[in-house]
Amino acid sequence: MNAVLINLLYIAASILFIFGIKMLGSADTARKGNRLSSVGMLLAVIATLMYLGLDWWMVVGGILIGGAIGAVAATRVKMTGMPELVALFNGFGGLASLLVGAAEYAKLRDAGVDHYLEMLQAQSGVTVPGWFVLLAIGLTALVGGITFTGSLVAWGKLAGKLPGIPTLFPGQQFVNVALMIAALVGIVLMVSGGDGSLALTAGLVLVVLSLVLGVLITVPIGGGDMPVVIALLNSLSGIAAAMAGFIILNNVLVVAGCLVGASGLILTGIMCKAMNRSIGNVLFSGFGATAQAAGGVTGEMKASSVEDAYFVLEAAQSVVIIPGYGMAVAQAQHAVKELAHILEENGAEVRFAIHPVAGRMPGHMNVLLAEADVPYEQLQEMDQVNPVMPTVDVAIVIGANDVVNPAANDDPSSPIYGMPIINAHEARTVYCLKRGKGAGFSGLENALFFGENTRMLYGDAKATVSALVAEFGK
């Protein structure tokens, strides 16, 4: 009876997750969807607590400690620190799945394979062969470990604690492939070794290998490619949970983990498409470390002043603001919102053009601008803005680089050739806010900056925008 009730609750939880994810996909229902899915999680936890014989002190202690840490982190984080935090949470999810795998393996060794399978059968009602459980444990460890350290590296890069530039060493791909094969051999040894000591050694080696692999796979990926990687790691954390579900034969883990895995993959695909690159290319090319040869950029960058920019903006009828990672770094979103407001009062039509991979995580710019209270209708996607770009008086590029590089349209030799961009160069006048003269994150010179109609405004983006706002106040 108890088991039936538990499983019914698990089904209810799965339904809530499904509706939750569905509703997260549309602006009007997203918040409700997130709450629905959190109710689903609560149901799943309550159902699990109905299993007899749990160690209550550890249950309550663990949930309180983890919940408190999570709550404090979620409440304290600034919106600019959001990408790091999401990466970190994601890593913890992967680590939790890895630990579940390890705990189950410890149980299996304590009890012996046969007795463990009996316990599993008593708990889940499902009979499985030993090799299946061991295979699931191995895969959980592999995916969970990669998710954990991969997310930690992503967190380090996003938080600026690790260099954002791609780090490559000779033969890295060969090493990665070798490690992956070794990990798979480790899984095979675990499966064949059961509760023996060789299998334990193989399991420990497997954990180490998966942790190392997570680092090696993520380290070569440049900051500009972070949205792809974060989406992919998000997917992997779901797959790790699904694999953990196969160890303990629990349907809610399998279903929920799978949903996350699939939705993460979709997001990864959207990000890749926005960069016109394949996932393999993002993961293995070390983009930016190798791509330095930018030919065909001629002319010079023309520096301008805030006063000049003011006169042009003052006369402008339509303005498009194109934010990028630089806006996040300078924390300029509130100043930018103020500038947009003043331009509107001045009679101009103001739009924000958001590239899908602007920033360091999917939707990064939208979150920042939402925090600054920029009205939703003003945020437009690339496809909406590009057709009207030639009619725009002034395009203001704030800390964006590759996503406005016209070389992607017309220079087949450019490494980013073919990537869809926001056609800022088609506006009558372009102002580019940039910290210094150097090439951008990818190491590419940007043809836009050398354009005939482009003026550069060097300096901190927030200071520059605030100075512009002040000019309007005079």
Among positions 176-235, residues that touch other proteins (CB under 8 A) are 230-231, 234
At residue 457's C-alpha, the angle toward residues 455 and 461, to 5°, is: 140
Question: Minimal distance in Å, beta carbon 147 to other proteins?
Answer: 9
At residue 131's C-alpha, the angle toward residues 127 and 134, to 5°, is: 100
Q: Which 354-373 positions form the footprint of other proteins (CB under 8 A)?
A: 354, 356, 361-364, 366-367, 370-371, 373
Tokens of 55: 């160690």
Q: Which 266-325 positions form the footprint of other proteins (CB under 8 A)?
A: 266-267, 270
Binding residues with other proteins: total (CB under 8 A): 118
Tokens of 78: 């600034």
Please report the beta strands in 240-398, taking only residues with DSSP state E, as ranges in sequence order: 318-323, 349-354, 379-381, 394-398
Q: Does 107 bind other proteins (CB under 8 A)?
A: yes
138 touches 190 (CB < 8 A): yes
Q: Which is nearer to other proteins, 78 or 474 (CB)?
A: 78
Among 141, 183, 244, 294, binds other proteins (CB under 8 A): 244
Q: Which 128-147 positions form the footprint of other proteins (CB under 8 A)?
A: 128-129, 132
Q: Does 12 bind other proteins (CB under 8 A)?
A: no
355 touches 274 (CB < 8 A): yes
53-72 footprint of other proteins as x/- string (CB under 8 A): xxx--xx-xxx-xxx-xxx-
What Å distances lie between residue 324 and 49, 55, 287, CA to CA?
A: 46, 50, 19
Q: Which helix (H) or strand (E) holds 457?
A: strand 454-458
Among 142, 183, 255, 332, binds other proteins (CB under 8 A): 255
Question: Minimal distance in Å, beta carbon 418 to other proteins?
Answer: 20
Q: Does 444 bind other proteins (CB under 8 A)?
A: no
Please report the beta strands in 301-348, taking only residues with DSSP state E, as ranges in sequence order: 318-323
DSSP 275: T
Catalytic residue among 195, 383, 402, 411: 402
d(CA 413, CA 422): 19
HEC sequence for 360-376: CCCCHHHHHHHHCCCCH
Question: Minimal distance in Å, beta carbon 344 to other proteins?
Answer: 9
Q: Which is nearer to other proteins, 86 or 221 (CB)?
A: 86
Question: Minimal distance in Å, beta carbon 166 to other proteins?
Answer: 23
111-130 footprint of other proteins as x/- string (CB under 8 A): ------------x-xxxxx-
For the CA atoms of the chain, what is the radius of gyration? 26
Question: Minimal distance in Å, beta carbon 59 to other proteins?
Answer: 6
Among 51, 131, 169, 311, binds other proteins (CB under 8 A): 51
Question: Minimal distance in Å, beta carbon 391 to other proteins?
Answer: 23
Q: Hey, CA dihedral for 264, 71, 256, 190, is it positive or negative?
A: positive
Residue with tokens 């803005």: 385
Is 402 labeled as catalytic in the residue annotation? yes
Looking at 97-105, 196-204, 401-409, 438-446, which segment touches other proteins (CB under 8 A)? 97-105
Nearest to 104 by CA among 85, 83, 128: 128
Q: Does 388 bind other proteins (CB under 8 A)?
A: no
Q: Does 31 bind other proteins (CB under 8 A)?
A: yes
Question: Minimal distance in Å, beta carbon 308 to other proteins?
Answer: 30
Q: Could you list the active site residues?
A: 402
